[in-house]
Amino acid sequence: MMYVVSVVLKIVLVIVPLLIAIAYMTLAERKVMAAMQRRKGPNVVGVFGLLQPLADGLKLFVKETVLPSSANIMIFLLAPIITFLLALVSWCVIPIGEGLVYSDINLGVLYILAISSLGVYGIITSGWASNSKYAFLGALRSAAQMVSYEVSIGLILINVLLCVGSLNLSEIVLAQQSTWFILPLFPIFLMFYISILAETNRAPFDLPEAEAELVAGYNVEYSAMGFALFFLGEYANMILMCSLATIFFLGGWLPIYSWTIFYWIPSTIWFGLKTTLLLFGFIWVRSSFPRYRYDQLMRLGWKILLPLSLGWVFLIAGTMISFNWLP
């Protein structure tokens, strides 16, 4: 009984802060974009608009769920649940501090790649089950985009794994105690950041949700909690990808060792600050860049990022073998 209670408590300690972070990520996005466009943003519900995410969540919770008459109802209802659950399941191997991880498995990187590849199914099934041309076209676009950029992400991560010699996410962080990987692998970090923007369907790669062309993409027929679950899944994946970038390139929970004045800051705060900085970059890019055409998106993935990431694999592997630096 005590074991079951401890497992449930661990799950709650992972999911509840994540849901709060997702809620206030939406508020931060609206506030930052408003500031960049010289607007006020949400400022009515609560002090400085701090209760706006709770009001939005309550509104979506109490709205009526509209089911299209021509939809496959069972799959239609199952698709957003799959998307949201897969976004949560990935977090069980993310170390937010030394020893602060739900399951510290040795194949953490493979687990993340496997779960992220399953995320395509929620989107494909939602577009197909909606029985709508707009939703189906958005789902096909999203599936092709996610599969294309997962290849680049996998090859980029091989470069980090060659430097560490382990698939364990905690060991990848500890390998950066002397130097964060963003310094020697800065071009790879830029490629990874561009790839996760496309992987999470964020601007300027938000082709599956192009409002001017597809109304709202694969979730056009969804309302109330179905739409909310897609929304929560998208933002959970954003935070997950920025956390992975923090782990692979920014030293995870490790502090900036040269600045001894910051030694007293807890490791989880360091992890949160680095992830927040990368999330701010997501918002900044959305505010600044126009949307790509779909052929430009595919060209970037297959003809630029894929050859570059493969070339870096050969370069780093060859360098480490030549100088006998293999871990």
- pLDDT for the residue numbered 101: 86
- pLDDT for the residue numbered 214: 56
Clarify whether residues 168 and 271 are in a common domain.
yes
**Residue 85 structural domain:** 63-322
Angle of helix 306-322 relative to helix 186-199, nearest 10 degrees, comes to 150
Token duo for residue 229: 């679950």
Q: pLDDT at residue 220 above 80?
A: yes
Clarify whether residues 34 and 69 are in a common domain.
no
Residues 6+ apart with CB under 8 A from 122: 79, 80, 82, 83, 86, 233
Clarify whether residues 301 and 316 are in a common domain.
yes
**Residue 301, beta-bridge partner list:** none
Average pLDDT over residues 151-178: 91
Q: Pick from 13, 30, 59: which residue ends a domain?
A: 59
Clarify whether residues 27 and 157 are in a common domain.
no
Domain for residue 209, yes or no?
yes
For 73-84, write each residue's pLDDT tens digit. 899 999 999 999
In terms of Cβ atoms closer than 10 Å to its own Cβ (0-12, 13-18, 19+), residue 258 is: exposed
**Alpha-carbon span 122 to 120, nearest angstrom:** 6
Provide the 8-state DSSP code for 255. Answer: -
Of the candidates 107, 190, 115, the one whose C-alpha atom is nearest the C-alpha of residue 150 is 115
Clarify whether residues 143 and 26 are in a common domain.
no
Clarify whether residues 52 and 94 are in a common domain.
no
Q: Pick from 43, 59, 75: which residue ends a domain?
A: 59
The pLDDT-based confidence of 258 (bands split at 50, 70, 90) is low
Q: Which residue has the tokens 């239609």?
A: 76
Clarify whether residues 26 and 73 are in a common domain.
no
Domain for residue 47, yes or no?
yes
Average pLDDT over residues 96-119: 87
Domain for residue 172, yes or no?
yes
Clarify whether residues 39 and 97 are in a common domain.
no
Q: pLDDT at residue 119 above 90?
A: no
CA angle 55, 21, 224 (to 5 degrees): 40
Q: Where are the alpha helices (DSSP H) in the chain?
A: 2-36, 52-62, 73-89, 108-129, 133-164, 169-174, 186-199, 211-214, 224-249, 267-288, 294-299, 306-322
CA distances from 85 to 15, 61, 149, 169, 296 (A): 11, 18, 22, 21, 31
Domain for residue 327, yes or no?
no
Percent of the chain with pLDDT over 70: 94
CA distances from 110 to 113, 146, 158, 166, 172 (A): 5, 17, 11, 11, 13
Q: Pick from 42, 59, 76: which residue ends a domain?
A: 59
Clarify whether residues 68 and 54 are in a common domain.
no
- pLDDT for the residue numbered 210: 63
Domain for residue 20, yes or no?
yes
**Alpha-carbon span 19 to 14, nearest angstrom:** 9
- Rg of the Cα atoms in the chain: 20
- pLDDT for the residue numbered 216: 67
Q: What is the pTM of this model?
A: 0.92
Clarify whether residues 231 and 109 are in a common domain.
yes
- Strand, coil or helix: what is 205? coil
Domain for residue 185, yes or no?
yes
- The domain tally of the chain equals 2
Mean pLDDT of the chain, nearest integer: 87
Domain for residue 289, yes or no?
yes
For 273-306, write each residue's pLDDT tens digit. 999 999 999 999 998 988 888 889 899 999 999 9
- pLDDT for the residue numbered 209: 67
Clarify whether residues 280 and 208 are in a common domain.
yes
Clarify whether residues 189 and 219 are in a common domain.
yes
Q: pLDDT at residue 172 above 80?
A: yes
For 231-249, write each residue's pLDDT tens digit. 888 899 999 999 999 999 9
In terms of Cβ atoms closer than 10 Å to its own Cβ (0-12, 13-18, 19+), residue 113 is: middle
- pLDDT for the residue numbered 212: 58
Domain for residue 242, yes or no?
yes
Of the candidates 224, 246, 238, the one whose C-alpha atom is nearest the C-alpha of residue 94 is 246
